[in-house]
Structure 1
Amino acid sequence: MLQMSQYYEPEFKKKIVHLHLKEGRTLKGLAEEYGVSKASISIWTKQFREECQTNDEAQADYDYMKENLQLKKQLAELQKENDFLKKAAAFFAKEID
């Protein structure tokens, strides 16, 4: 059975692309949550990246999203390290007593 293609508003597409690029959400997760195919999200992301090549505002937005995602990953790693160090400090504090 052939499915009819569905029209999505540009704001909706932009929201999905932002969730993917800015927050690092997976294509699979977004597809399941919003009922959109992974291929569509991939195409929208590719179109956004192409738009960034010609539109300075879109390029700035894309750069911001990439930096934001990188900082979120770095923060998560530092939080893991901090939690480990807290546990190690508590362990060694018990050993001293």
Structure 2
Amino acid sequence: MLQMSKQYEPEFKKKIVRLHLEEGRTLKGLAAEYGVSKANISIWVKQFREECQTNEEAKADYDYMKENLKLKRQLAELQKENDFLKKAAAFFAKEID
């Protein structure tokens, strides 16, 4: 028995691709959360990247997503470093007293 493949709205696909590329969410996590196979998500990401080769608007979106993900990761790293420095400063302030 052949199973009909489920059709997804373009906006839904774009949302999933954006969550993966912009927020760094894993395919496995997105598949579990949205009930979509990892293979489908992988295909959508591949299609979006291919579209970026010919569509300037899609390329601009892709570049924005990559930059946003990079900045989010950098911010998280800097927040960790800042928290560590605050703890170290508090520790040394206690030692001085």
Q: Which bracket does the TM-score occupy, shorter chain normalised?
A: over 0.9
Q: Over aligned residue pairs, what C-alpha RMSD do you find?
A: 1.0
* TM-score normalised by length of structure 2: 0.96
Q: Where does residue 42 of structure 2 map in the other structure? A: 42
User: % of aligned pairs identical?
Assistant: 89
Aligned length: 97
**Matched ranges for 1:1-80 at <5 A:** 3-80=3-80
* TM-score normalised by length of structure 1: 0.96
Structure-2 separation of matches of 1:23 and 1:15: 11
Structure-2 separation of matches of 1:3 and 1:31: 19
SS of 2:8's equivalent in the other structure is coil
Structure-2 separation of matches of 1:24 and 1:80: 18
* Structure 2 unmatched ranges of 5 or more: none
